[in-house]
Amino acid sequence: MMKRLVLLAGIFCLLATSVWAIEANELFNTMRTKVLSVKDYTADVKMKIDVTYMRIPQLKGTLYFKSPDKMRLERHGGLSIFPKKNINLTLSNLIPTGQVAVLDLGPTTRNGKKLRVLKVIPEDEQGNIVLTKIWIDETNLLAVRTETTTRNDGTVIMDLEFGNYIPFGLPDKVTIFMDVKDYKLPKGVAMDYNDDHINDTKPKDGKGTKGTIQIQYLKYTINTGLKDDIFKGKKGEE
């Protein structure tokens, strides 16, 4: 009798785990489909770059994005900036594409909101993403936090706040936390500031240097079919 109960309990656990895994895969795929449904956008933004050893005034401008990785920041009163491909400023570049394994880490609460945490591991071992942890608002199918481990750029953490563009999965505010020891500002930013903005706190060995990029999206225009020409720089732009 005892052996039968143990066997039945084991079967029940296996079935429950299987159903839970299917739900986790479905949740991730549905959320990813929502994110990737945005093929391009134009947004009025305010951007603040905060690096320990450098004081950079807030940037204002228009941000252009085209899937999967084209981006241009057209600054008000300055040159355009083309972020380097390894500086991931969008959620779509921080979640794995293709075939993935999804592990359910269970429910949690963050800032008073109930969330579900998934660990997503891409099956493609050649890509830059090793794994991603995603904190998901199940009700609205929104990724409100990601922690992505990459092969080339260390770990990038992104916090997202939503409001006006929830149906598109587009945030009103994004804060990106990253290791900036190898990060170089595009010339369109760096050329505007002199040595007075650099202090002595930059580690000589390049270790332990953290930074944040904060972007406020004031207004979006979505899926208008942006042309590739928009992302081609003019002389002097980078």
Domain range list for the chain = 17-223
pTM here is 0.77
CA atoms of 162 and 168, how far apart (whole Å): 10
Q: Which of 25-34, 96-105, 131-140, 190-199 has the lowest mean pLDDT?
A: 190-199
CATH number corresponding to 17-223: 2.50.20
pLDDT tens readout for residues 123-152: 887 777 889 999 999 999 999 999 988 887
Q: What mean pLDDT is reported for the chain?
A: 76
Distant-in-sequence contacts of 72-75, Cβ < 8 A, 24+ apart: 72/230, 72/231, 72/233, 73/45, 73/47, 73/188, 75/188
Which is higher by pLDDT, 87 or 201? 87
DSSP state of 234: P
191, amino acid identity = M
DSSP state of 170: -
The pLDDT value given to residue 155: 85
CA count, 13 A, side-chain hemisphere, 160: 26
The pLDDT value given to residue 140: 93
Q: What is the full DSSP assignment across 3-52?
A: HHHHHHHHHHHHHHHHHHHHHHHHHHHHHHHHHHT--EEEEEEEEEEEET
CB atoms within 10 A of CB 222: 16
The pLDDT value given to residue 180: 60
Question: How confident is residue 207, by pLDDT bands cut at 50, 70 and 90?
Answer: low
